[in-house]
Structure 1
Amino acid sequence: MNNETDDRSEAVELDPMDPNTMASLKHWGDPLDLPGGREMASDVAIDCGWGRLIFGQTFSNPRELANLLRLEREGRRDIALYVREPHLVLSHAPQDLFMDPSLTFRLDFRRYRKLPARPETLVIRELTAEDDQPKINRLHMARGMVPAYDGFYTKLNDKPELTVLVAEDRHSGEIIGCVTGVDHREAFNDPDNGCSLWALVTDPQTQVPAVGEWLSRHLIEMMIARGRSFIDLSVMHDNEPAINLYEKLGFRQVPVYCVKHKNSINERLFIGEDPEEDLNIYARLITKEARRRGIAVEVLDAEGGFFRLSLAGRWVTCRESLSEMTSAVAMSRCDDKAVTRRLLQKEGLRVPEQVTAGDDETIENFVSRHRAVVVKPARGEQGRGIQVGLTEVDEIKAAVASARAFCDKVLLEQCVSGDDLRVIVIDYQVVAAAVRRPPSVCGDGSHSIGELIERLSRRREAATDGESRIPLDAETERCVRRAGYSLDQVLPGGEWLQVRTTANLHTGGTIHDVTADLHPVLSSAAVRAAKALEIPVVGLDFMVPDVSGPDYAIIEANERPGLANHEPQPTVERFVDLLFPHTRSQNSKHLNQRSDA
């Protein structure tokens, strides 16, 4: 779950139609006397790493608030919340500022109901100096959120108003979520005794359920223990999954608004509707980057992902990441997996043994030479018709018959063990690398395996804009049965079960960035493969025992790789650089540069 890091805070009764609500709103912006002679601080803005959180109720002069917002640093995102008179603030800088189209929600802690136990697979704790902070930044970037600047997290000991929590997958040890809490009493001596939740993010690839909910709950319970009265957050008005979660926790919408500075990060919030909204996510990311550079976009067939880009008399037609710069010959080389393998083998690259599935004798001879076999259609994409790790002749024959529904020519391939690695090469340079993992479910002791798969499938679909889902088909049933279960059995609590053998995104697989860890031999092999195929944009599928080691086997090449799957690596920027090299700018940077912004 992701609330787009737009979460806020305020001080008002829950029902916006209640007269008490408006009475409470009246004092915002006025200096208040507090018990013990302490006053609420004035003109407060706190550094949150991604930008400044500006408390509007501490400003008495709207012009000063507007001027502060206009001083926003490049690459940051400042937010002014609890602005008493937002229309007056906007009037002082109408060209530079805008009203954020988000909703503010509040949880009165009297409404909160604690659940008895957290899932066994999830650990939630405060961030420590030993945590891999660049990986936390990559989580935010993968969700299109602004990462904290380099060194910010080391300052948390000097910021008592901030609490940063991380969620850790107990099974893998990976950090799969993060949230920031702001204590208003510590920040500006808040007379309303509130706090707020910010920058909630979860790994879009995690298979652990309800990470966002448990991060929110942990923060809520910490703030209750501190004696705070309520917690606020803000969420985009159209983020229905997040809104549904917050309402389930007891949050209610309140009439609180925020003002932001116009910048490239939040451009989509003030320029109006996206003219390419009917395109899928793979095409839409490219057209968005093109328009950012002043390149005109014409949608030719939204359903098929076809569009035309034009600038200064130059036109390029694309289908997602497949463009006119990829020749028909190069495309046909990738389209037939047997041809791909022969060309790569001729180049001296390592590929698994492969034969065309013919008569029973061919199948039996191939199985006798290899412990496990992959059956795949010679043509096809998105993992359709592929079965991995088959060992019995009868099941291989059945898989061959099934694969022929997708292509008459079916291949038998040596099954190579290891991690499924996708490497993106653009303009004969490696731009991104990611390990792909098959979908797995974790038992909770109450739901059937089929129900767990359906729940995970819904989360994968939501995280990928509808591109990833786990089919409850014969292959899923085979994988579950091979593990000794059936779909209607209950999986014991804490036990993990892999439910597919393939790691394709479209059948529920997850993608984990490993660009920084890629061994030079793997990088070199990917570039050599692209050159052998004479293709300028390609996704190469490797099987590797370790991404940081030199051993590999290349199993496929994809002429239309999904660039959206490799965020936050700059795959889309490099693609547009290839098509329109004169639009390349200093702002087009690699991840290690961007994460230090």
Structure 2
Amino acid sequence: MVERRALGPSTKAIVDAAIAREIPWTRLNDQSLIQLGHGKNRKFIQATQSFTTRSIAVEISCNKALTKDFLERACIPVPYGKVVRNEADARRAWHSIGGIAAIKPLDGNQGKGVSLYINSEDEAARAYHIAAEYSSRVIVEEMYEGDDYRLIVVGGKLVAASKRMAPSVIGDGVSTVAALVAKENLDPRRGDGHEKPMTKIPLDEIALICLQKQALTEQSIPEKNRVVSLRDNTNLSTGGKAIDVTDEVHPSIARMCERAAQTIGLDICGIDLLAGDISKPLTKHNGIVELNTAPGIRMHHYPSEGKSRDVGAAIVEMLYPG
């Protein structure tokens, strides 16, 4: 009960930053709604949505197709794609892309229902049904090349960037994949949902599809030192890891991300980017794949590798300059 009522990592990071600034705070419910300050200085946060977050910006960011339209009109690179409502259209959309695709719920979040590296019509059909469990509308889009990055813009400025890595386990030549996952989930840094710095790895249908691509099942015993991927996507919400790369971001990429957040009017924005090397300008095969409202910031405060970035302090500074 105590753990369930504890503040999540993102909310706690903001509260800790407020305490460091001697700003009083009050928890207003048993979730993540927090009041900072009193009287004329009173402001609210809910996780990483703030007193200044615009509701229309949230609505835009929650619709992946609409977000892409906004960014494309601003000459920001986004993948080509189509919105579909049935399996037959998903199959046709995959053919129209003419290559490897990503399929995901139009208005999903936290990597739920997302399938990547779809390379056949039958895979597209299966991925459509997974995505359709989360949304009546599904987006089928071209798959950009490169590593997966999450960048955070607060108040119009880039404040953190992480390279995200898909959840995986390493074979020992004795244990099954299921046993290896269970052992990895015993890591005290992993918990359910967002309660801990890292999330437990789910062994669900998407994980089983990923295993199938590697000619494995959950009962397979991978040879010693073999890396077994449990996801194509790299979301921390589905067990991924993060490496801090803030100091490596090329200036042109930083400016593009700041402009993307400003294009839809988000004060706190998580930008998902695929790039070959974040220290160099993007190529035609790279670009932004999503903008996220209320982005989780635990990966930046508690990276698996690299320097911790105090995004919570940046949010408090945006709300209380100086």
1:498 paired with 2:229, answer yes
**Percent of counterpart pairs with the same letter?**
26
Specify the SS of the correspondent of 1:301. coil
Q: 2:76 aligns with which of 349, 355, 360?
A: 349
Counterpart Cα distance in 1 of 2:114 and 2:191:
24
Q: 1:569 aligns with which of 291, 294, 309?
A: 309
1:521 paired with 2:252, answer yes
Residue deviations 1:465-520, cap 9 Å, x none? 43511111111111111101111111111111111101000111001000111111
Counterpart Cα distance in 1 of 2:111 and 2:313:
27
1:560 paired with 2:294, answer yes
Distance 1:360 1:487, change over 3 A: closer
Specify the SS of the correspondent of 2:209. helix
Q: How far is 1:549 from its partner?
A: 1.6
Q: Structure 2 counterpart of 1:387, which letter?
A: S
Number of the residue aligned with 2:304? none
1:461 paired with 2:190, answer yes
Counterpart Cα distance in 1 of 2:141 and 2:201:
24
Question: Does the Cα contact within 8 Å between 1:277 and 1:284 map onto a contact in 2?
Answer: no
Q: How far is 1:578 from its partner?
A: 0.6
Counterpart Cα distance in 1 of 2:200 and 2:218:
17
Residue deviations 1:140-175, cap 9 Å, x none? xxxxxxxxxxxxxxxxxxxxxxxxxxxxxxxxxxxx
Counterpart Cα distance in 2 of 1:370 and 1:544:
21
Equivalences for residues 156-555 of structure 1 within 5 A = 278-303=6-31, 305-311=32-38, 313-358=40-85, 362-368=89-95, 369-459=97-187, 461=190, 465-466=195-196, 468-551=199-282, 552-555=286-289
Question: Does the Cα contact within 8 Å between 1:333 and 1:339 map onto a contact in 2?
Answer: yes
Q: Structure 2 counterpart of 1:563, which letter?
A: I
Which 10-residue stretch deviates more, 452-461 or 540-549? 452-461
Counterpart Cα distance in 2 of 1:370 and 1:456:
38
Unaligned runs of 5+ in 1: 1-273, 585-597
Q: Structure 2 counterpart of 1:419, which letter?
A: D
Counterpart Cα distance in 1 of 2:217 and 2:313:
45
Q: How far is 1:363 from its partner?
A: 3.0
Q: Structure 2 counterpart of 1:298, which letter?
A: T
Specify the SS of the correspondent of 1:435. strand
Q: Structure 1 counterpart of 2:253, which letter?
A: L
Aligned-residue CA RMSD in angstroms?
2.0
Question: Does the Cα contact within 8 Å between 2:67 and 2:264 map onto a contact in 1?
Answer: yes
Q: How many residues align?
A: 307
Residue deviations 1:552-574, cap 9 Å, x none? 31000111111222021121111
Q: Structure 2 counterpart of 1:504, which letter?
A: N
Specify the SS of the correspondent of 1:313. helix
Residue deviations 1:226-262, cap 9 Å, x none? xxxxxxxxxxxxxxxxxxxxxxxxxxxxxxxxxxxxx
Structure number with the bigger relative contact order (C-alpha 8 A, sep ≥ 6) is 2
Counterpart Cα distance in 2 of 1:319 and 1:440:
31
Counterpart Cα distance in 2 of 1:358 and 1:513:
38
Residue deviations 1:87-143, cap 9 Å, x none? xxxxxxxxxxxxxxxxxxxxxxxxxxxxxxxxxxxxxxxxxxxxxxxxxxxxxxxxx
Q: How far is 1:354 from its partner?
A: 1.3
Counterpart Cα distance in 2 of 1:438 and 1:413:
20
Specify the SS of the correspondent of 1:458. coil
Distance 1:554 1:395, change over 3 A: same
Computing the radius of gyration from Cα coordinates, the structure with the larger value is 1
Which 10-residue stretch deviates more, 396-405 or 475-484? 396-405
Relative to the length of structure 1, the TM-score reads 0.50
Q: How far is 1:360 from its partner?
A: 5.3
Relative to the length of structure 2, the TM-score reads 0.90
